[in-house]
Structure 1
Amino acid sequence: MPRMTARSRHEEHRAATPLELFFDLCFVVAVAQAGARLVHSLAEGHLGAGLAGYAAVFFAIWWAWMNFTWFASAYDSDDALYRVVTLVQITGVLILAAGVPRAFDDSDFTVCVIGYIVMRLALTSQWLRAARNAADPGERRMALLYAAGLVVCQLGWVGLLFVPAGTARSWVFVVLAAAEVAVPVIAERGAQSTWHPHHIAERYGLFTLIVLGETVAAATVAVQEALDEHEALGELLPIAGGGLLIVFAAWWIYFAVPIAGHLRSNSQAFAWGYGHFVILGSAAAIGAGMEVAVEQAVGKAHISTAAASAAVTVPAALFLLTVWALHSRHFKRTLAQQLVLPVAAVAILACTFAGHGAVLAAGLVAAATVAAGVALSSRGPEGTGPRVDAHG
């Protein structure tokens, strides 16, 4: 069996591999399924159930991606065995995606759990392989703790299937989710895996691009279907235009500065990585919100204009605040620069009450946010000149 040894954290020119990109693309199906179910719930006025179902399903999607991504950053050997095992994980991802509708609509996680079992069997074998070839006892202990954590948590998810649907199952889900996110913290308390800062930053950026792309695709399909059925061009153009501005601004703000230099320790990297649950979840929810706004505009959604507008403005504001907390605030040099994104988030929330033009108004605010960020950063701190920082 070929050896699997840890890669260097200081390796130069580390970039995402074609296999990693393929792995990411397979998550598009799952993200699209979660977004479609959220649209249906919000359009029917089932806010609480819709948000709870979306949070649970998106956690399952996001955490499956996280498990693979951090392991691959430290141990991607790219040999035949590694590739085959990763393809098995991809199979698990597709099974997970197939189970999203049942999990969302009926709280039936059976198919999702089966998908996780497939993924976890593959990933556990990878960690055991890493332990077998560990360079020292500390690394071996870390890899074994990861493998044990995966097995224990997976047994918990299997047990969840036997808990009656309702409040009890919801609390068990929360406990199991907390156990999942605790595994890396516990496993790496002694020795740390050699994840690569630039590679991790790129991987998260690529997944963010996929989610934003799915947002645009979902909104485009919604507008097309509405036009085919209603030809309500006047009502749909402001939503399409505003939504596009929001997505463009989201891309600009997220990618304005490189974050890899900030990821210097596990505490910084884990907080940043875990925080992306909100960034990615809100980015995907923007697309779902745009679909809801389209359905409300043509009379297919049974909610008010303000509620439909909030389906776009709330996740957009949450995206800006979370990107500010995880990214932007580390690169700001003046109070004015620090205030741009929080103030923009409040302004976008205020657009909720702008009637049928709410989404367009929010898009204009998002565009103005980017312009303000560029203008302030071009001055540099205390008027010293331009800086390479166009972050909103």
Structure 2
Amino acid sequence: MSDHPAVTPWSWRRRMRPRDPEETQRVSTPLELLFDLCFVVAIGTDSARLEESLAEGHTGSGIASFLLVFFAVWWAWMNFTWFASAYDADDTPYRLATMVVMAGVLILAAGVPRAFDDRDFAVVFAGYLVMRIGLESQRLRAAAADPERRASLMRYAAGESGCMVLWAVAIFAVPDGWRLPVWLVAAAAELLVPPWAERARSIPWHPHHITERYGLFTIIVLGETILSASRAVQEGIADEARLDLYLVAAGGLVTVFALWWVYFSLPSAGLLTRTRAAILWGYGHYVVFASGAAAGAGIAVNAALATHHAHVSRTAAGLALAVPVLCYLTVVWWLLVRPHGANAPYAWGMPLVGLLTLPASLTPRPVPVIGALMALLIALSVWAHTTKSHRQNTPKTQPSPDAPTH
């Protein structure tokens, strides 16, 4: 159990005991919200670089760079978020350590252009090093105050420190031809640390707090999508292809609305009942976040094509939006909707609409067509929830005992 209740005033210093995973009214703190905002720059820069690559026809290299950089951004956020859910002491040392982590995030963001364009992760590594100093100091502090979970916390600290050595080798010590394979090995090692550490003893993260944190980060990603798309529309608003541009803006906006709608259509906290399931749920959100950000780049590419600033075919531009939407809907369906079973009667519509976006990319105006499909998905969701609510609220009639029988 926690040494502090669900709502506590700031303190100079308190023991970093684990938070109660069943405490009520657990919500994101102002410090966590500030922490999330530090990632806006990194996500926005990565998405903008993807849009430029797709618009110039550098599809393969652009997607690869985007995914590599986004992994670094997502993993940095995820490391801190799960630890904070279990050990947020909200005292002076914790706040200062979190601000050190934030400084590392901003350094990472500064290195995104070089990482994307040249696969030079030196500045990103420096940001990670600063973040890890802040985070591991708190893991060691928690290990000293929580002997029951000391082994798990020490595994986290040792595993993440060892991964920093692998990152250093991948970035600074191997030839260019071997850099990507070693990078992938280091990324795989990072992903293996939480399952290995949790085998000693599970860290008491808060299910409702975790799902709220992921939901807020989803909103940040979709906000960046709206920003990148609106920036493209602003730049081309004075051009001649105004009708096409307006159709792209309308279809893109409806698409973003639908991405938000389906993510928050059903509660998720009840799905995080076991550590293994929670880890898979958390890892699967890499696809959700990355595809949400990539959708913004896809909308921006179509806006650039409408103003004759993109050097790709209309089909390629349509696929730049259709593929991220397909990935987003499929993974959201798999992680957040499918587990509800009969409580999600419209669930089949999500992967189906996702698949239909692919032929939609072959149409003369793919973005408004995809937007229409996403509007249909919203309508299906509303209809299914309304029908279900009506059935639940309709009393079952019982035959009168005096009624004649036949």
- TM-score per shorter chain, which class? over 0.9
Aligned with 1:35 (options 28, 40, 47) = 47
Q: CA–CA distance in 2 between the matches of 1:148 and 1:336? A: 45
How far, CA to CA, are the matches of 2:218 and 2:180 in structure 1?
28
Task: Report the residue type matching 1:42 in the other structure.
Answer: L
1:1-392 equivalence runs, <5 A: 2-136=14-148, 139-164=149-174, 166-228=176-238, 230-333=239-342, 337-355=346-364, 357-380=365-388, 384-385=391-392
Aligned length in residues:
382
Query: How many angstroms apart in 1 are the aligned matches of 2:209 and 2:243?
Result: 45
Deviation of 1:231 (Å)? 4.6
In the aligned structure 2, how far is the partner of 1:115 from the partner of 1:10? 34
Distance 1:335 1:291 in 2: 33
| C-alpha distance in structure 2 between counterparts of 1:377 and 1:167, whole Å | 53
State the shift of 1:205 in Å: 0.2
State whether residues 41 and 109 of structure 2, in contact with CA within 8 Å, keep that contact through their aligned partners in structure 1: yes
2:337–2:344 CA contact under 8 A, matched in 1: no
Deviations 1:147-197 (A, max 9, x none): 101110011111112245644211111111110011110001020001000
RMSD (CA atoms): 1.6
How far residue 47 of structure 1 moved from its aligned partner, in angstroms, is 1.0
1:335–1:6 Cα change, 3 Å: closer
Deviation at 1:300, TM superposition (A): 1.3
Counterparts of 2:55 and 2:346 in 1: how far apart (Å)?
37
Quote the Cα distance in structure 1 between the aligned partners of 2:274 and 2:34: 28
Q: Name the structure 2 match of 1:390.
A: none
Is the Cα–Cα contact under 8 Å of residues 69 and 116 in structure 2 kept in the other structure? yes
Contact 1:216 1:287 in 2 (8 A): yes
The 10-residue stretch of structure 1 (56-65 or 232-241) with the greater mean CA deviation from structure 2: 232-241
2: distance between equivalents of 1:166 and 1:315? 29
CA gap 1:61/1:351 in 2 versus in 1, 3 angstroms: same
Q: Distance in 1 between matches of 2:299 and 2:176?
A: 30
Preserved contact between residue 348 and residue 365 of structure 1 (Cα < 8 Å)? yes
Deviation at 1:87, TM superposition (A): 0.3
Hey, what's the Cα distance between the residues in 1 that align with 2:360 and 2:345?
22
Aligned partners of 1:36 and 1:288 also within 8 Å: yes
One-letter code of the match for 1:274? Y
SS of equivalent to 1:162:
helix
* Corresponding letter in the other structure for 1:182: L
CA contact (8 A) 2:338 2:344 kept: no
More displaced stretch, 193-202 vs 293-302? 293-302
Residues 378 and 386, structure 1, Cα contact 8 Å, conserved in 2 = no
Q: C-alpha distance in 2, partners of 1:319/1:56?
A: 18
8 Å CA contact retained: 2:240, 2:307: no
Distance 1:290 1:372, change over 3 A: same
Counterpart of 2:152, as a letter, is M
C-alpha distance in 2, partners of 1:50/1:20? 31
How far residue 335 of structure 1 moved from its aligned partner, in angstroms, is 9.3
Amino acid corresponding to residue 158 of structure 2 in structure 1: A
Shift of residue 386, structure 1, vs aligned partner:
6.3
Partners of 1:68 and 1:334 in 2: CA distance: 32
Q: Where do 5+ consecutive residues of structure 1 fail to align?
A: 388-392
Say if 1:340 and 1:369, in contact at 8 Å, map to a contact too: yes
TM-score (norm 1): 0.94
How far residue 122 of structure 1 moved from its aligned partner, in angstroms, is 0.8
Q: Encode CA deviations 1:45-71: one digit per residue, 9 max, x unaligned.
A: 111101110010000000000000000
Which protein has the larger Cα radius of gyration, Structure 1 or Structure 2?
A: 2
Runs of 4+ deviating beyond 2 Å: 162-167, 334-338, 376-381, 383-387
Query: Using the alignment, how far apart are the partners of 1:19 and 1:311 within structure 2?
Result: 35
Aligned AA for 1:191? R
Match of 2:399?
none
Q: 1:171–1:334: structure 2 CA closer, same or farther, 3 Å change rule?
A: same
Residue 346 of structure 2 aligns to a residue whose secondary structure is: helix
Shift of 1:212: 0.4
Cα distance per residue 1:290-323 (max 9 Å; x no partner):
1111111211111101001111111011111110
Contact 1:90 1:119 in 2 (8 A): yes
TM-score by length of 2: 0.91
Q: Distance in 2 between matches of 1:4 and 1:385?
A: 45
Percent of paired sites with the same residue: 48
Instruction: Check the 8 A contact 1:348/1:366 in 2, yes or no.
Output: no
CA contact (8 A) 1:219 1:240 kept: yes
Q: Is the 8 A contact 1:278 1:322 kept in 2?
A: yes
